[in-house]
Structure formats: structure tokens, C-alpha cells
Amino acid sequence: MELTVDCKKRPEGSKTKALRRSGLIPAVLYGHNGSESVALTVDAKTVQQLLKDGSINNTLIQLNIPDLPWNGKTLLREVQTHPWKGFTYHLSFFSISTQDSVEVEVPLHFVGEAVGVKIDGGILEPILSELEVRCKPDSIPESIEIDVSSLHLGESLHVNQLILPEGVTAIGEKERVVVSIASPRVETEAQSEETEEVEE
């Protein structure tokens, strides 16, 4: 997925609270020119739609800044929200236009019915919900499907056993458990006693 966001350069000396009151969300762009960063503003409605359609450190965003001028592909690296009011008050974008590869977090999608669940009544227990990977900027997968059909009771699937899309490499510990099939939970003695009393 790729989204397009139009930004404006933030006027020098502008107050962030005043910007938010006028419907603009402060933002910053990193990585487009060495260590230089640029202060920006994004329309609040655009931010709302961006957060609805995209996700942090995963969705490719075409950032347009007419008054810089600069256009390029970025990742949304950070979203700061008010601790109790919940509204967004700052965004951070990172340019990947000049990067050969990027590190992103991709959601995991489990498909199929495990043998250990279907036959033995086990419980599917996902340990990871997303996986950090390295890939080319134009090859970021929206999600990674993991087929759990062959897993039996007591078995686990590790990162190094995953079949990843071409050009996508997992980052971090290869022995991490991604998903496992756990034994059915046994009723506690108290629950068993309650059941027996009801039956009597």
C-alpha cells in the first residue's frame, strides 16, 4: 500500500498549540538530506485519514512538500498522541528515497486450521502479531501469511521456519517462537466441583 500526503513547511517561530487550534498537526521529516530535519505541518483531517488507512513503520507514504520543494517516499516512524485526551499532536516521517533497504514491521496473518486444534482440541496461541523485516522500499508487504495447518499439539513455529516473500528478510533472533499449539486448558478443581454440584 502507498499513500500520498501533502505537507507544508512550518513557519519559523510558529507555536504548536496555535497550529493545532487552526487544524494543523506539527510534523518533522528526517533523512531526506543527511542529518538535516525539516519542520512541517499536516492538515488534521489528512492525519486522521492517514492513521486510518496506514500504519506506523509499515505503510509507504509519498510525501509532497511544494514549498520546500521536496517530494519523496517516506515511512511514518512515530505518532505522538495526548496521554489521556487521545488526539494526535505530532508526526515523524523518515525519507527512504535514497535507501537501498528499509527495516519495517509487518503484521502477521495466520491462515488454515492446525491439526493440533482440529483433531486434538488444542489452542492456537500466536506469540508474535508482527515481524520486523528488511526489504527494498518498494517491496514492503502489507502483511505476511503464515499457514498453521500442519502444526500438531505441542508444536511451535519459529521465525527461521517462516516462508517470507522474495527479497524480505527477518531481523532479530531467528529462534523466536511465532505461534504454538497449546494443550487444552484443564478445568480447575473448583470449577469441577461446581459442575458436580449442579449435576446433583
Residue 137: band (very low, low, confident or very high) from pLDDT cuts 50, 70, 90: confident
User: Are 143 and 110 part of one and the same domain?
Assistant: yes
Using one digit for the tens of pLDDT, what is the confidence trace for 37-89? 899 999 999 998 998 888 888 888 999 998 887 788 899 999 998 887 778 88
* Number of structural domains in the chain: 2
Q: Which domain holds residue 146?
A: 102-182
Is pLDDT of 196 > 70?
Answer: no
Q: Cell numbers 491462515 correspond to what residue?
A: 111
Same domain, 109 and 88: no
**Pairing outcome for strands 60-65 and 70-81:** antiparallel
Domain membership flag for residue 175: yes
Query: Does residue 199 form part of some domain?
Result: no
Regarding pTM above 0.85, the answer is no
User: Do residue 55 and residue 91 come from a single domain?
Assistant: yes
Per-residue pLDDT for 189 more than 50?
A: no
Closest to 126 (Cα-Cα) out of 97, 90, 100, 151: 151
Same-domain status, 89 and 120: no
Check which CATH number belongs to the domain holding 61 and give it.
2.40.240.10
